[in-house]
Each structure stands twice: as C-alpha cells, then as structure tokens.
A and B are shown apart, each in its own frame.
Chain A
Amino acid sequence: MTDIRVPTLGESVMEATIGKWFKQPGDAVAVDEPLVELETDKVTIEVPAPAAGVLSEIAAKDGETVAVGALLGQISQGARAIPAKAEQPTKAISPAKAVAAPVSQPPKTAVAEASLAPSVRRLATESGVAPATVPGTGRDGRVIKGDMLAAIEHAAAAPTATTQPAAAVQVRAPAPADDATREERVRMTKLRQTIARRLKDAQNTAAMLTTFNEVDMSAVMALRNHYRELFDKKHGVKLGFMGLFVRACVQALKEIPAVNAEIDGADIIYKNYYHIGIAVGTERGLVVPVVRDCDAKSLGEVEREIADYGRRARDGQLKIEEMQGGTFTITNGGIYGSLMSTPILNAPQSGILGMHKVQDRPVVMAGKVEVRPMMYLALSYDHRIVDGREAVTFLVRVKECLEDPARLVLDL
C-alpha cells in the first residue's frame, strides 16, 4: 500500500483544493500517471502516482481542501495493476462534456465508477456527462439515473440551462422566478477566487493611479523586420515586441527605482534585481509567470523564456515558484485589441505597464501629419511610494527606448 500525499506546493502555499480526480477507486494506475488535480491560489498542479498499482482508496474528495502533506488516497499493489493508459470511458466522448462539466456542482460524495448503477454508467458513456460532477439524490448521495437524466438535459439546454437548486448560501437577492430558471450558478475555482481577492486587495491597499503615454512603434517594427530571420536563426525564437518592452522597462526601472520597490510596513524595500512578470491569459484565468534577472539576460533568452511560459501557462503546467517573486509586471491587452486600459497592480509590486494595440494613426512630425504605427502605454503605480514625476519619467523613458532602440544599447 502506497500513500498518495499532497506535495510541497511552494513558498507560502499551505493548502490546496481537490480539483478533480482523474482516477476512481479500482482503476489501475502506472507510475507518474496523473492521478488528481490540485488547485492552489497560484496554480493548478497534477499529482502523479508515486507507484504502480490499483487506486484503492480516495481519502479527499473533489472540492475538499487539503493541507500540504495530507493523505489524498492510497495505491495498492493489486494483481490488477496493468500499465494503465486506458482512458476512463467518460473521457473520450462527445462534446457534450464540455458544456456539462461546468454546469454541475461538486458531488456530495465521490463514487467509484465501478459502484455506479448500470444505468448511470451507460448514460455517462453515451452522454459524456461525468457522474462525479452530478449531484446525487440516491442513498448516501449516490448518483441515480434520474440525476443523470436531469444533468444531461441540463447540459443539452445550456447555455440557457435551468439552474440546479442552489444549496449554497445565497448572498444575493433571489432572482424573479422567470429569470431564476435561466441562471446558472457555478462555483469559482480556487484560482479565480484568488485572482478576485488579490485584485481587490491591491485596489484597497495601494493609492493606485494610471499615467498614459504613446509610443511610435516604427523603429521597433523596422528593427524587428530587419533582424527577424537572423534573430530566429541564432536564438531559435521569434523576435517579438515583448522582449524589447522588458528591456525598456528594466532600463527605466534602473533610473526610477521606486517603481521597482514595495512597501513593507513603515519601510520601503528597493529591489536591485529585475524580475519581470508577464501576464498571460488562460482559460482558467490570468497567471503571471516571472522572468528572472532580466537585466542579466540577453533579448534572446528573455524571448525564449516568455514563449516557454506562454505555452506552459496554457497547458496549466506552470510551477508555483515560476510565478513568485516578481518586482514589476507587464500586461498586454493589445493582443485582444485593447486600445487603452488601466491595469491593476500585482500587489505588493508598485508598478504595472499596460501595452496596447498597435494602430496606424495620424501624428504630427516636424509640422507635417504622418501615419505612424502607434501604441498607447499605461503605467498604473502606487502613488504612496511613486511620485507623479517618477511615474511620468518612467513611462517617457520606456517610450524613448522603444522609439530609438539604440538607447537600449547605449544605456541612455
């Protein structure tokens, strides 16, 4: 019998929520096969099987909160142990699953697939609705056929699905009966709850305001066009804007250290290192992996790291330590088409740069109107430690570096 325990989750992360068990008791598992998904307030991680065998027991069910080191379940070295790559039948199925999963509440009890009623097993296979996501009304919370039929009907009716009878505490006024049936109540993931809490904390704590500027991207685009192939050949990664922005920010942070500082009680901590967080939107929510020591890395290294982070963020494969310790953050709303926005600080940092869409606009150059590829820049900052002069100077320095990349080389 081998215990499955909650792994160390990284600094300051003491607990996690069981997102979903991929295996049910009785299922054969291979070594390192993902068993269960844990959601922490930073990331979602998969716990691999510590040994091959049969998952004999699940000690912490979906939705439960577990501490580091807590028992998740046990693997027995049963005779049934086979190199398991066979997927659960519920996995491979129809697109109905995609709509079905989010509309359901966590089950009252996790029930082994094998112990499910035959009708429930059939409906699960045919519909793709996972019984584990369906609230059970049978004895001891078991999912019975009627529950499955209701869940399938529910899934089919989505997005205007009828809502589950809400067991959760109501904190809002009840909706009118007509509308209530057209609402759905979905529990926030741990990640989403954390994002919500931290963003609001940042707003409540910092004296946050935003300053704007705009940058003529002609020089950066010319540079990129000119060196694209060469850069790619040498560094194995595309030359993007982001690396140059990181570079420009580091240069500006060196000049205005307050933007790279944070408040700790009555002290200000100036950080003489430059760990730049890059906000990445994923299906699960926003994550901010951190490129460390950007002042000591080449543009190629920075670009490679950013590309790697982006890929792994989408797959939910980021490690917790990769998202910790940032000193300044860059967020790019432009990839979604944003022309102008006011980003919220990534506390306890004191500055965040918002990039936006590059748009051809008429600008006046030496008394003449010219069409230039322009981008608005926004810097939200904590006015408690960053003065307006510093914030504006920072943003102007970033603008200057981008409009004349030679400044980056010359450290001007």
Chain B
Amino acid sequence: MPSYDLIVIGTGPGGYVCAIRAAQLGMKVAVVEKEKTFGGTCLNIGCIPSKAMLHTSELFDEAGHAFAKMGIKVGTPALDLPAMLRFKDEGVEGNVKGVAFLFRKNKIEAHNGVGRIAAPGKVEVTAARGPSTVLEAKAIVIATGSDVAQLQGITIDEKRIVSSTGALSLEKVPRHLLVVGAGVIGLELGSVWRRLGAQVTVVEFLDRILPGIDTEVARQFHRILEKQGIGFKLASKVAAIDSNDLMLKVTIEPVAGGTAFDLDADVALVAIGRVPYTEGLGLEAIGLKLDNRGRIPVDGRFATSVPGIYAIGDVIAGPMLAHKAEDEGIAVAEIIAGKAGHVNYDVIPNVIYTSPEVASVGKTEEELRAADVTYNVGKFPFTANGRAKANQQTDGFVKILADARTDRVLGVHIVGSDAGNMIAEAAIAMEFGAAAEDIARTCHAHPTLPEAVKEAALAVDKRAIHM
C-alpha cells in the first residue's frame, strides 16, 4: 500500500498549493484528482478561463468603440468566437500544465480518480476505469472545493440553461442572455457576452447588486454597468424557465409580491452562488458531520473533528476565493509540519474583473457602522487622476476607511480600471497595520492610477491635493 505523509484530495488552488508547500517542507505528498486535468474549478472552468474571456471581449469592445476615437482605424471588428474560445482554452491548458509540472518538480505523486476517505489515514482512489487503490497517509487534507448552486426547479443543461461552466463555452453569442444572480460570476460573464454583442438582463433577488460589497461601491458600479447596456431586474426572482420553445421563456416575480412577467432569452445563466462539494468523500462513514450549509467544520488549525483529517478552501467557512484557499493550503501544510501557519481573514482582497474592476479589502462602511466603529472616509475619483484622464478611463473612485482615533486603515474599496492590481497595495498596508497617513506619505509613481490610492489616503485627513 503506497504510504505518504500527506494526501491532498483535490488539486484546485487550495489543494495544489498545499501539496507543494508540504513537499517543500520535506513531506512525502500525494494528490488525488477526479478530473483529467489539475487545477480544479479555478484553472479549468473558473477564474482563469473567465479572465481570458474578459480580456479578449474587452479588447473586442475597445476595438469597436474606442479605437476610432484614439485615431486607430480598424473598421468594424469581426468576432471569430471559435478562435476566441480556443485562445481561452490555450490559456487554461498553459495553466493546468503548469500545475502538473510543479507536481513533478516537487515529487508529488498524483492519483487520478475519485478520492474517498475509507478511514482516518486511508484514502481509496477509484479511477474512471480500472480498480480502486488504497493509499495510506499520516494526514489528509480535504480540498474538494465547491460546485455550482442549483436553482430549485431549474435543470442546468449547459447548452441553453448554463452555469458558469457552460457560459464560458457558448457556441454562439446569444441575442439575449438572462443572468440569474448579480454576484461576481453573473456580472463578469454577463459583461463578457454583453461586449460580444448580447443583450444582457441580470435578475437579482436582493434590491442591490454585489451583496457584501460596500453599498456605495455597488451603487456606483451598478450605474456604470447600466451605462454599458446591462439591464437589471432587482428584488426579483426567477420563478420558472420554460425551455419547450426555441426561445426560453423566463418567468420573473417581484420578491415583494406583485405581477409576474415573462422574458424571452436564448440562454439563461444560473449564477446564484456555489456550494461546498463533499460528495463521495465518505465523510458520514468516518463520523465527520457537515454544518447547516454543507461545509466541513474546522478549528483554527483547519483540523476537522476527525484526527488527522484537515479541510481548506471552499469546503470550509469563509469567502469562496481561490487566494483564500491558497493561503489556507500553505497554512495547513505548515501546521501539519509543526510550524505556525496562519491566515489573516481580516485582510483578504476581493476582486470583480469587470470593466472597470471592483476591488476591496477589509471592512465596508456598513460593517463598520454595525460594529459601532467611528471612522473617517477618504475618497478620490479617477476623474481627478492624471493617468486615468490620459487614458480616458475615469470611471470609479478609491475609498479608504480609517479608524477615526488611530487612523489605521480598516477597509479600502476601489472601482476603476486596474482596481484588482491596485488593491494589493492596500492589502500590504493593512497587513502591517498601516495608518492612512502611512499610505499618504509613501511615494507613489506619477503618472499612475495608484496615485488615486495615495490621494484617497490624503483625503482621509481632508488634504487631498488634486481635488
């Protein structure tokens, strides 16, 4: 029976990073992956392919709408969707091969098949074809991630009624794409197909988009998306989707009650969230109970109630983010190796890769108010930033929330081009307990968009220069 120090079930960003870190720390490590390629949802059907599509569709949109104004004459760009999808697939391939290379480099043994925890210390791997093998390990990390949340009464066929997976590979641009859920996935993929020519309508149960994001940010972003031509039906729910005709007939009801109405759509994207994926792990048999939301309960050291079994990433509590899972993967590997692994959940950035991007780290104004924290707000719009003006990308702003007494940065929220890259600066600052003044007194290169971060930090003290 092959024996290891550590077996990681799942090779998404949580699992593969955990395996590599454990190997670096001298452990003999195996990974179990049920899909043909490594990398999990993120690399295969999530973050990576969606970013490829966001990138190409944005360039397509620019070529069609902004180039002429910049003096670049290309005529009306034509879309070659199959080539665009191939471009996306190449990006995915490059990434998943990279993980395979990293496994080889770190002498991590990969077992293809569905992993089941037969007993503490034993993982049974059942390949699609062929017999099952049993592996032995001192420690097991469950990193099986999450799956698409289903909408009750609606069957996803990944052709006309799709999840994010199908929405990344539509064979042709739908005339009308209906998106269920105004969260990150819905808005990103809605943006992709809007730019490629689809009419897009987003139906959201709540009366706002992007629940959990700072309200002011969400409100401004909502207006920007509407300007881009995305339609919103807020405080509404999809009651039914009739797929008997050529067109889908989507029945929408106001949440507060009132008259339902129908919308025709070529494609409906169900993007109402994700649920932890623990099927087939055999958790019940080993006495590992899930919480009321299907997550695996763990303690501060990522240990489950069963000794020797740990869990990280989307299967445990916390935001379902690849980088959160990665940090947990590193932390749990270090903890298993007897070191002091730790994840700071107060400083986990969150990015929506639309155009403009939305990025945040730390607390929202709503959270601070709820916690009775007195804070100062420093806000700076990109309309006053030289680089944004030169690029004519002036949508959005930077908002910094700092403790009124200590000036410590508690939250940073950015709407704007490149917000996802800019938030890293805020995360570093917060990780080191920086005051807004510290950001303000750090020299920022000119002309760059991050100067807006510095100006927002100055604005906390009501002394922004360019306002």
Contact = CB atoms under 8 A, between A and B. Distances in A.
B403, B431, B433, B434 — which one has the most chain A CB atoms within 10 A of its CB?
A: B433
Contacts of B432: 117, 138-139, 142, 144
Main secondary structure of the interface of B (DSSP, over half): loop
A146 B435 contact: yes
Given A137-B433, A139-B432, A146 B406 contact: yes
Interface in A104-119: 117-119
B431 A122 contact: no
A149 interface: yes
A149 B435 CA distance: 11
Interface string A329-354: 00000000000000000000000000
A138 B434 CA distance: 8
Contacts of B403: 146
Contacts of B437: 118-119, 122, 145
B348 to A, nearest CB: 16
9 cross-chain pairs, A with B, having the tightest CB-CB distances, nearest first: A146-B406, A145-B435, A118-B441, A138-B433, A119-B437, A144-B433, A117-B438, A119-B435, A119-B438
B124 interface: no
Interface in A309-335: none
A142 B405 CA distance: 18
Contacts of B379: none
Given A138-B433, A139-B433, A118 B405 contact: no
A268 B408 CA distance: 67
B405 A149 contact: yes
A150 B431 CA distance: 20
Nearest to A145: B435
A139 B441 contact: no
B438 A145 contact: yes
Interface of B: 403, 405-408, 431-435, 437-438, 441-442
B155 to A, nearest CB: 49
23 contacts: A117-B432, A117-B434, A118-B438, A118-B442, A119-B435, A119-B437, A122-B441, A139-B431, A139-B433, A144-B406, A144-B434, A145-B406, A145-B408, A145-B434, A145-B435, A145-B437, A145-B438, A146-B403, A146-B405, A146-B407, A146-B435, A149-B405, A149-B407
A149 B434 CA distance: 13
A144 B435 contact: yes
Contacts of B441: 118-119, 122
Given A144-B434, A144-B435, A146-B406, 7 more contacts: A117-B435, A139-B432, A144-B433, A145-B406, A145-B437, A146-B403, A150-B406
A297 to B, nearest CB: 61
A137 B431 CA distance: 12
Contacts of A119: 407, 434-435, 437-438, 441
A118 B432 CA distance: 12
A150 B405 CA distance: 9
Given A119-B437, A122-B437, A137-B433, A144 B442 contact: no
Interface in A241-270: none
Contacts of A139: 431-433
A149 B406 CA distance: 7
A137 B442 CA distance: 21
A252 B51 CA distance: 98
Nearest to B437: A119
Q: Is the interface of A mostly helix, strand, loop or mixed?
A: helix
A87 to B, nearest CB: 22
A275 B405 CA distance: 59
Most buried by B among A118, A144, A145, A149: A145
A97 B431 CA distance: 30
Interface in A81-140: 117-119, 122, 137-139
A118 B438 CA distance: 5
A49 to B, nearest CB: 31
Contacts of A142: 432-433
B427 to A, nearest CB: 13
A169 to B, nearest CB: 25
A149 B442 CA distance: 20
A142 B434 CA distance: 10
Interface in A137-175: 137-139, 142, 144-146, 149-150
Nearest to A121: B441
B2 to A, nearest CB: 41
B19 to A, nearest CB: 28
A138, A144, A150: most-surrounded residue (chain B CB, <10 A): A144
B399 to A, nearest CB: 20
Contacts of A149: 405-407
A137 B438 CA distance: 16
A119 B438 CA distance: 5
Nearest to B442: A118
B347 to A, nearest CB: 10
A306 B105 CA distance: 76
Nearest to A123: B437
Contacts of B434: 117, 119, 144-145
A144 B434 CA distance: 7
A278 B49 CA distance: 85
Contacts of B406: 144-146, 149-150
A119 to B, nearest CB: 4
Nearest to B431: A139
Nearest to A147: B406
B431 A144 contact: no
Contacts of A146: 403, 405-408, 433, 435
A334 B407 CA distance: 53
A186 B107 CA distance: 56
B146 to A, nearest CB: 31
A156 to B, nearest CB: 15
Nearest to B408: A146
B455 to A, nearest CB: 16
A261 to B, nearest CB: 60
A211 B220 CA distance: 89
B365 to A, nearest CB: 20
Nearest to B435: A145
Nearest to A136: B433
A142 to B, nearest CB: 7
Interface in A273-290: none
A117 B441 CA distance: 9
Contacts of A145: 406-408, 434-435, 437-438
Contacts of A144: 406, 408, 432-435
A373 B406 CA distance: 62
A139 B433 CA distance: 7
Nearest to A119: B437
Nearest to A138: B433
A177 to B, nearest CB: 21
Nearest to A140: B432
Contacts of B405: 146, 149
Contacts of A117: 432, 434-435, 438
A122 B194 CA distance: 50
